[in-house]
Structure 1
Amino acid sequence: MWKRAGAALRAAFQRKPRGAGPRPPLRAQLARWGKGLAIALACLLAAAVIAFFLVVRHYERDLPTTAELKNYDPPQVTRFLARDGTVIGELFVERRTLVPVTEIPPVMSLAALAAEDARFYKHDGLNYLGMLRALIVNLRSAEARQGGSTITQQVVKNVLLTHERTLDRKIRELLLARRIEQELTKDQILELYLNHIYFGHGRYGVEEAARFYFGKSVRQVTLAEAALLAGIVKGPSLYSPRVNKERAEKRRAFVLGQMREKRFLPAAQIDAALAEPIRLAPEPEHLDELAPEVLAEAERALRKAVGPDARYGGYTVVTSIDPKMQAAARAAVRQNLDAYAARHGLVAPFTRAKGDPAPFQGAPKDAGRAYLGAVTGADDARGTLAVRVGTAQGAVDLRKERRYNPRGLPPSRFAEVGKVLRVRFEGDPEAGKLRLDLGPQGALIAIDARTREIVALAGGYEGARGGLDRASRALRQPGSTFKAIVYGYGIHSRKLTAASMLETDPAALEGYRPGNYDESEGQSPKRLREALAHSVNVAAVSALRDVGPEAVVAWARELGITSKLGADLSLALGSYEVTPREMAAAYATFAAGGAYQEPVLVTKITGPRGEALPLPARLPPRPVMTAAEAYLTTDLLTSVVKVGTAKQALSLRRPIAGKTGTTNDARDAWFVGYSTDIACAVWTGFDDATTLGAREVGSSAALPAFIAFMEKAHAGRPATDFPEPLGIVRLPIDPESGMGAFPGQEGAVEEVFLEGTEPTGVAVPDPAAIGQGILDLFKTQ
């Protein structure tokens, strides 16, 4: 073929030598030339077609399949919600929420078309005029600078290909664009585009963009808002209204102008949109601080429910958390710990004093423990405080220490050189990154007494994702709060009553001899109610001895205590470690009339398409004690508030039952209590079990947080008393013996009993009192 074409061209253009006869007429020459040229052009065209076919075949061999678009499933946002639908946290690789095109308002779709591809519904995926214009620019610059892309091409580029500017990628893009137009509808392509494009500030797709800029779903955006969003796509870093509002407004006007020119909407509607001021929603705050402990547990529940697919997102996880109560819980923990810091002088600025402890000596190796380090210098420009810990030199970034530096003091004013401070290494000690660890930590968990749903959970002061959830995972000695379980079992087993007389002299106990809180021997109240109210240790050990440690351990299991417990007499004083969550659940059983049910945090999970996912079956409440037994236990615990160690809780002005707790050397301080509505456990202590101080007890270091939280949690709720069930008997008793009061006895007190356990005997009157009574009778005659 190529030889024939060449011969024809040579024949057509070869000049005849002079003297070789008459020349053919001009028309014949032109015809011959035309024939040769036509043959040559035909050959070139055939060659071009073949070359084009080969190029297409070459690039088609490794093109990605469009099936990925038909089953479009990009990374989405997983949202964690409070019980009222408030977003308390998000988990995502790309912050995106898919919305069907049928639910995207027409003004949003039209604005996107006006901004990017007005002829979208008319072309077959390629804008040839735009491509020609881009080709000219690219040839001039000798590189790929413009694309003349349609929306279809943008979908290909963003979903199936990379963003590199090469001729190779451009050819693949064109081929895929044509293929997509053949396999997908225009609406499907537009849906892909609107859900995938980037709008700046980490937001992908129109739904997340509308939430971020306007605080609403894309379903509710106005024409002006839609035009603003559509205008951002061209350059999110340039046209974001959070970056430059004036520039964003000009870009919006351009989009609206395009809509007018293309007659997408009536002119009056566009004029109204042009006149509408830009109203942005407040920039979303970081949500981690409100409930990071909740997010961590909810994320674990999600992964357990859906497995590896959880990483793709698009799920909605509903929790039982009440946002107002959660905020109140965090505030209560912080206020309580700040008050402790004020009592112990843990407030900057820190100056050297004679009573300062000696700094640590040696090589620090453990990143998990706290050390005493000496301040060696300060760098105000960098905001760091230099601290030497033994042989290691480290630095504290005070910009991260809002808890201990609330006034924002510069390092040079925060602490004097030579001052000894308690610090902790972040990671490997050799890295030298330190955090202040001056004060204790705290935890608070609150459970709805009726539903057993967790309504608030604060596992520490900071509230940062990845931090330790001390409410659920920190095992600590519960101290005297465990006495409620001991006495509760005594009531349940009918071996004890509220009027039982208990031993209070340590000398009377064999083997284990604890001291009493009031440090008296033989002088403490002996009646069970008073012994519980005033937290008499020997009385609790005496009660445990009488009912049996093994039986109490088994009963604690029924109340939801799953941590390891030992069946010895120290159990009565809370010597075995449990979590605040376990204690709150156990006390909630008393509040709920004696039925235990495991607390729940995640109540519902829905998938990316709105389908409900199955959660582990929740066991129904199981009876642990009768309603009468639970009521009597509750009534005993109200004495702790009325006349005992927790009288501060009277400020709540509603019936409260509970118990304070303090462990040896004041390493742990507790209060666990409840109303008719909410059970709440509060713990305060150092993570490494350092003493809180000789004067710190549950009533000073934990109870204030309980009061602060319960006050906010019950705001607007009427004060209700614990309902008295059937099976309760009230009768006067002799306070000294616990026996029934004799007729006319002065000083008798009313006591509460389970029916059938009330005392059968009557106290013997004091003869001297009888004689005095007779004399008084004669005097009145």
Structure 2
Amino acid sequence: MQTEKNIGEPSSKSEEASEIVLTEGERTTQGRIPAKMPTHTQAAVAQRLNDIPEHAVPGYFYAVPHHLAQKTGWRTRRHIKRRNLRQTFTAIATTERISTHTLIPLAASVLSVFLAGMLIFVTVIGFVNATQQKFGTRIVTLQDILPKDSTRIYDANGDLIYEAIDDGMQVSEPLDKISPQLIHAEISIEDQYFYKNPGYDISGIVRAAISNLSSKKVVAGGSTITQQLIKNAIVGNHTTMLRKLQEIILAPEISRYYTKDQILGMYLNTTYYGEQAYGAEAAAFKYYDLKDTPTQTGAEQLDIAQAAMLAGIPSSPIARDPFLHPKAAATRMEEVLQQMYAQGYITAQERAHAIEEAQNPGFFKPGIINNRLAPHFVNYTLRELANDLHLKVTDLSRTGTVVSTTLDLALQNRALQSAQKHIAEMSSLHHMSDAAVVVLNQHTGDILTLVGNIDPNNPRYGDFDVASQGYRQPGSSFKPYIYATAFQDGTSPGATVMDGPLTVQMCCGLPSYSPHNYDQMYHGWVTYRYALQNSFNIPAVKLLMQTGVDKALAVAQKMGITHYEGIPNYTMVLGSLSVRLIDNTAGYATFANGGIHIQPHAINTIKDQDGNIILKVAPKGVRVLSKEAAFMITDVLSDNDSRTFEFGKCSSLVLYTNTMNQCYASYPGPIRVSAAKTGTSNDFRDNWTMGYTTDYTVGVWAGNNDNSPMVNVTGVDGAGPIWHDTMMAVEQGHPIRSFPAPPQDLIKKSVAYPGKTTTDWHIK
């Protein structure tokens, strides 16, 4: 066991010596004595580490001078090189930082521009495709979709009696039928490079844009004639950039499908010249009263001054309307003339002469459309036209149809004048104010005359057409339909009937009916011939009771009474059903045509504006009454001797050539064979005279528009004179012919009937 020692005393001699050495060395080198620490402490160990010698470095060491590894100054050069390198790196970093903040936005901008360009390109392509898809079919069918001409109606002799103007007036003409002066004027002022450009003119558009910008308002359009045609016919006239782009897109397409002359022709026939005039022909008439002649159209007659004036209007039809703004129109005309001169179309002398001509007071001669020549016939024709074309009457104005009718305008005027004259004579004494007349060709169904009333311009009732729209009671003029039914069933006109008191028991709780004759007398046994010609009522009611109401009405309807008002019963033989004059006339025309009914019509042909026939009316006759019955009715109604008792030998039903007084003095002159029947409704409200010759059938109604009673006037005196004068007018120049011979199935024989023996026609 180790003995504990005092601190600071050495444990042995060696330790002491060592201690001494250390103490001396330390004292020598450091001037201080290190502290004595225990041998195994960490501090002592750390001190002893300094006593371990360094490892020897492998190799040899020569005690001689050594050469420097680097040249003198290399450190400076390295410093400079490193400095420069740092500057370069700093510049690169700065450039990179600048590039990051500049090139990326620049690239983004370039990309945005590219994308915007692509978007614009796609949008433009899409717009072009959409425009072509939307309007492509219209380009192909442009000539078909252009506004059609005004509907025009002509009489049988080719005289214009109506032109629709409520939607503007337009009459198309071939380009070679339009004045060259107007063509030159339009091209010079609207599109001087018309025959060279592809349908649009960029330089013109730029010039117009500059003019508009400098004037700060729209003073020029820059549209070519082709673009204006597209605007008017395809894309519409909205003042927008979109519409202008559509014009430019479609213009080349139009130019590929159509020749320049075709484009110019379509433009000149549809462009608006103001005053509701569309196209050159309408403008020539509207401003200068130029009409078609046998050799020239109205548009073909335009001279330089007239053409220049018209060419200046389309760019601003209201502001340059010569009637509304003559100064502006004259200024524009001079601009047109200047352009015509500058482009070599006219000489300076021609320009001066045109300006002088336009200053004359009579330069303008406005044309006037007279649609009141035969207004009731025209309205009837329009209704018929609408039915033929399957349109509404209100849609007929711009159908482009040219209608040739059956109207004889001269005869219409004579019938109207006769009616006016007679009504004027009867108005004060008999309170008669109006009349209507219808003339038919029973062999064709042609309506030659349709007078709806005698005062077409009357503001109260002038437009009302009694002939085709009024329902009036026909009185005894309805009786022949019942007689024809009975004759067809085998009754002979010579058969007798008791004309005596009669009471008819009505059905359905109605009171009994007792008819009376017009003269308030009974005539005993009479023949049906005598009863019909003298219009006895009681024999007619008895005959209807024999034939039956339904059967007789069916015959009347087939013969032409297509419309009626009222309740069919035994009173209808006396005219209780209200019918139209034109229908009643058609019924009598069926008698005149031997029992064959032909539907009355006002239209002969319908053509389009290019002259192609759309419809040619050729109605087919339908037999609705036996020829035997038709012959017997004609034979009875033409028997002047039988009706002498009631009407006298020289009534207006007899077509004598001389006057009535001369007739009664036994100088009637040549008498034209005719069949006729009168009718008078209750209280003298309606007068009728119906009749026919071998050529024509005439129906006349006379009365008052408000259906008020007349004063003591019957059909033979009220409507008869008008019928007589009209029939003589329509037959003027025609030979006098007798009615056809009786059919083979008819025989004339004597038969003993109650009351008397008669000789008359019978069916075999």
TM-score, normalised on structure 1?
0.65
AA of the residue aligned to 1:612 = I
Specify whether residues 735 and 249 from structure 1 end up closer, same or farther in structure 2 by C-alpha distance, changes over 3 A only: farther
1:55-102 residue CA offsets vs partner (Å, 9 max, x unmatched) = 855864764635423322133223333333333334464433444546
1:155-194 pair list within 5 angstroms: 155-165=229-239, 169-170=243-244, 172-177=246-251, 180-181=254-255, 184-194=258-268
AA of the residue aligned to 1:478 = P
SS in 2 for 1:300: helix
CA distance in 2 between partners of 1:50 and 1:756 (Å): 95
1:221 corresponds to 2:301: yes
Tell me the residue number matched to 1:18. Answer: none
SS in 2 for 1:88: strand
Cα RMSD of the aligned pairs, angstroms, is 4.7
For the 8 Å contact 2:703–2:710, the answer to whether it is kept is: no
Tell me the residue number matched to 2:666. Answer: none
In the alignment of these two chains, the number of paired residues is: 606
For the 8 Å contact 2:679–2:687, the answer to whether it is kept is: yes
1:574 corresponds to 2:575: yes
Tell me the residue number matched to 1:552. Answer: 552
1:444 corresponds to 2:437: yes
SS in 2 for 1:65: helix
AA of the residue aligned to 2:701 = W
For the 8 Å contact 1:501–1:528, the answer to whether it is kept is: yes
For the 8 Å contact 1:444–1:471, the answer to whether it is kept is: yes
Q: 1:702 aligns with which of 678, 701, 719?
A: 719
1:601-644 residue CA offsets vs partner (Å, 9 max, x unmatched) = 33333345544346798443426232685266345345287664
CA distance in 2 between partners of 1:175 and 1:144 (Å): 22
How far is the alpha carbon of 1:557 from its aligned partner?
A: 4.0
Specify whether residues 326 and 101 from structure 1 end up closer, same or farther in structure 2 by C-alpha distance, changes over 3 A only: same
Tell me the residue number matched to 2:474. Answer: 478
1:68 corresponds to 2:143: no
Tell me the residue number matched to 1:284. Answer: 369
CA distance in 1 between partners of 2:321 and 2:147 (Å): 23
1:30-54 residue CA offsets vs partner (Å, 9 max, x unmatched) = xxxxxxxxxxxxx9xx999989868
AA of the residue aligned to 1:151 = I
Tell me the residue number matched to 1:230. Answer: 311
1:645 corresponds to 2:647: yes
SS in 1 for 2:477: helix
CA distance in 2 between partners of 1:344 and 1:695 (Å): 7
CA distance in 2 between partners of 1:756 and 1:61 (Å): 80
Tell me the residue number matched to 1:630. Answer: 631
Larger Rg: 2
For the 8 Å contact 2:376–2:452, the answer to whether it is kept is: no
Tell me the residue number matched to 2:509. Answer: none
How far is the alpha carbon of 1:595 from its aligned partner?
A: 2.5
| Stretches of structure 2 lacking an aligned partner (at least 5 in a row) | 1-109, 506-511, 658-671
How far is the alpha carbon of 1:256 from its aligned partner?
A: 6.0
Q: 1:326 aligns with which of 409, 412, 417?
A: 412
1:500-551 residue CA offsets vs partner (Å, 9 max, x unmatched) = 443222259886431211122348x934444333322223334444555555
For the 8 Å contact 1:75–1:93, the answer to whether it is kept is: no
AA of the residue aligned to 2:268 = L
AA of the residue aligned to 1:648 = S
Specify whether residues 262 and 658 from structure 1 end up closer, same or farther in structure 2 by C-alpha distance, changes over 3 A only: same
Larger RCO (alpha carbons 8 Å, 6+ apart) = 2
CA distance in 2 between partners of 1:65 and 1:195 (Å): 21
1:91-106 pair list within 5 angstroms: 91=164, 93-101=167-175, 104=178, 106=180
Tell me the residue number matched to 1:298. Answer: 384
For the 8 Å contact 1:305–1:615, the answer to whether it is kept is: no
1:738-757 pair list within 5 angstroms: 739=757, 753-754=760-761
1:194-248 residue CA offsets vs partner (Å, 9 max, x unmatched) = 1221122212122333454311235743545655543544555576677799997
CA distance in 2 between partners of 1:228 and 1:709 (Å): 49
SS in 2 for 1:291: helix
Of the structure 1 ranges 467-476 and 726-735, higher mean CA displacement relative to structure 2 is found in 726-735
Tell me the residue number matched to 2:499. Answer: 504
1:352-431 pair list within 5 angstroms: none
For the 8 Å contact 2:582–2:699, the answer to whether it is kept is: yes
Specify whether residues 466 and 162 from structure 1 end up closer, same or farther in structure 2 by C-alpha distance, changes over 3 A only: farther
SS in 1 for 2:647: coil
Tell me the residue number matched to 1:526. Answer: 526
CA distance in 2 between partners of 1:322 and 1:491 (Å): 35
AA of the residue aligned to 2:412 = Q
AA of the residue aligned to 2:647 = T
Tell me the residue number matched to 2:683. Answer: 665
How far is the alpha carbon of 1:281 from its aligned partner?
A: 7.3
CA distance in 1 between partners of 2:251 and 2:136 (Å): 10
How far is the alpha carbon of 1:467 from its aligned partner?
A: 5.2
Q: 1:88 aligns with which of 158, 161, 180?
A: 161
1:697-736 pair list within 5 angstroms: 697-725=714-742
AA of the residue aligned to 2:375 = E
1:79 corresponds to 2:79: no
Specify whether residues 195 and 632 from structure 1 end up closer, same or farther in structure 2 by C-alpha distance, changes over 3 A only: closer
AA of the residue aligned to 2:673 = P
CA distance in 1 between partners of 2:465 and 2:675 (Å): 26
Specify whether residues 160 and 550 from structure 1 end up closer, same or farther in structure 2 by C-alpha distance, changes over 3 A only: closer
For the 8 Å contact 1:302–1:317, the answer to whether it is kept is: no
AA of the residue aligned to 2:499 = T
